[in-house]
Structure 1
Amino acid sequence: MAKERYYEPAPDHIDVAEFRKVVDSRRSVRKFTDKPIPADVLNDCLDMALLAPNSSNLQQWEFYVVKSPDKKAKLVEACLNQNAAGTAAELIVIVARTTSWREHARMTLEQWPQPTVPKIVQDYYGRLALFYYSQGPLGSWGLVKRGIAQVAGLFKPVPRGPFSATDMKVWAAKSVSLASENLMLALRAHGFDSCPMEGFDEVRVKRLLKLPKDAFVVMVLGAGERAKDGVYYPRLRFDRRRFVHEV
């Protein structure tokens, strides 16, 4: 008997022109009006952020929506008092985790959305994920894995990491950045705007939010309604031939 497969067809009739409008009109807005973002809108945007693709579905992200006026004032200061922070209706600290993968691997097996967990899923999250992402005390296991990959890579293609704490930060940041873009596009689709900020004092932000040791801040996102003078300059993009290559 043939094995029953899972199928999830893609929806039809997605309006590309409307999607392009969302993408084209997303700008880094530096100044917002005082209009609040409705709670249901913000929650919908955050839910769409959580639908982003991510490595091994281990969901390495956390979103801190800063509501406390005192914490918000301190966060604005930690963001160097930028207009994009000071005028934002909402400030969202987008965080990556490098150790939550272990708990999320366990949760995947516990919360699998079908009555039976496929063996390949059991094997991956029960054993292989431990091999891929564990680094060991002082990175010792990562060094062993690096050596194995260097030898095995002489004969066949092999994964080349993550083999260190630094590799794990890059690994986590990739997935969190995808979720951040989902969030920004969702805000734009709802008629609001955002500004992803890298200009902040991470030590102060981590202390303010009492983040765990393995967490690091990917960006602070200011969000709200675009002020008339909220976009400071026209968009500049270099010629696509500099970046798009057919090989």
Structure 2
Amino acid sequence: MSRFAAESSCLPATPDALRALIEQRRAVRRFLEEPVPDAVLRDCLEQAVLAPNACNLQPWSFQVIRDAELRRRLGPVCLGQNAARTAPVLIAVLARPDTWRESCAAVLDQWPEPQVPEKVRHFYERTAPFQYNQGTFGLRGLFKRALYGVVGLRRALMRQPNSHAEMRLWAVKSTALAAQNLMLALQSHGYATCPLEGFDEVRLRQVLQIPRRAVPIMLLAAGRAADNGVYNPRLRFPLEERVSWH
């Protein structure tokens, strides 16, 4: 546990404190030159990976870019956006649909008790591999879709993911949860963020040497907000237009 986590564990979490933190978070487009300390970045990344995720397979990875030259090269990759050009740190948030096999083994190897429960071992040795292995050219996934179509006539069952495209979606959902944790953690330390989805993925892969099957879902700019960092007042649509009650 980090020093920051140890200190915060003594503080009660209140709805008002959480609301204040969420309301403070804005997408900041301009940053000061002040660097973000490595200890803060590590603490925030530790909080990021506490995010809920599918089957605890933690299908994410992060590349923390502090080097000035590398950040300069990423400016054009991010289409010249001010957030990318001025932030003292950029974090590439990657979804990893390709790491499920290693993660299944890691869960069993790193289980936090002396004995792995038999149900847990069975899940990660049998159930999860059946669920997430899509086979060469996705042929195994094609077979599973047909199987689920028949079995699903009689009972409810988990039908996805059963294609490489659905594996990407599976990983992106969990990674997005971790990214939100990361933004709120940085906000709690007084650092602003801007999630950047506007970038040239081909050039991003060339600059950062991203693994072939990893999915870059955002570049997160982080740092102290400049006075002119927030461009516009916040706008959210009325809740009644987006929520149904049953």
TM-score if structure 1 supplies the norm length?
0.93
**1:234 aligned residue:** 233
**1:49 aligned residue:** 48
Conserved 8 A contact 1:206-1:216: no
Q: Which amino acid aligns with 1:86?
A: R
Alignment of 1:35-114 (within 5 A): 35-114=34-113
**1:17 aligned residue:** 16
**1:221 aligned residue:** 220
Displacement of 1:41 after TM fit? 1.0
Corresponding residue SS for 1:125: helix
Conserved 8 A contact 2:40-2:189: yes
CA distance in 2, matches of 1:52, 1:86: 29
CA distance in 2, matches of 1:204, 1:220: 13
Corresponding residue SS for 1:27: coil
**1:168 aligned residue:** 167
Q: Which amino acid aligns with 1:109?
A: L
Corresponding residue SS for 2:22: helix
Conserved 8 A contact 2:66-2:88: no
Q: Which amino acid aligns with 2:50?
A: L
Query: Is residue 2:181 matched to residue 1:182?
Result: yes
Q: Which runs of 5+ in 1 are unaligned?
A: 1-10
Displacement of 1:68 after TM fit? 2.7
Corresponding residue SS for 2:185: helix
Q: Which amino acid aligns with 1:211?
A: I
1:89-135 superposed Cα distances (whole Å, 9 cap, x missing partner): 11010011111110010011111000010011000001111100000
Conserved 8 A contact 2:78-2:84: yes
Displacement of 1:12 after TM fit? 8.8
**1:4 aligned residue:** none
**2:142 aligned residue:** 143
In angstroms, what is the RMSD of aligned CA positions?
1.4
Corresponding residue SS for 1:135: coil
CA distance in 2, matches of 1:90, 1:68: 8
* Identity between Structure 1 and Structure 2 (%): 45
Displacement of 1:67 after TM fit? 2.5
Alignment of 1:108-123 (within 5 A): 108-123=107-122
Moved more, 64-73 or 177-186: 64-73
Corresponding residue SS for 2:219: strand
CA distance in 2, matches of 1:66, 1:38: 13
Q: Which runs of 5+ in 2 are unaligned?
A: 1-9
1:43-62 superposed Cα distances (whole Å, 9 cap, x missing partner): 11111001111111101111
**1:157 aligned residue:** 156
Aligned residues: 238
Corresponding residue SS for 1:244: coil
Conserved 8 A contact 1:65-1:90: yes
Corresponding residue SS for 2:94: strand
Displacement of 1:70 after TM fit? 2.4
Q: Which amino acid aligns with 2:179?
A: S
CA distance in 2, matches of 1:69, 1:236: 34
Corresponding residue SS for 1:32: coil
TM-score if structure 2 supplies the norm length?
0.94
Q: Which amino acid aligns with 2:87?
A: A
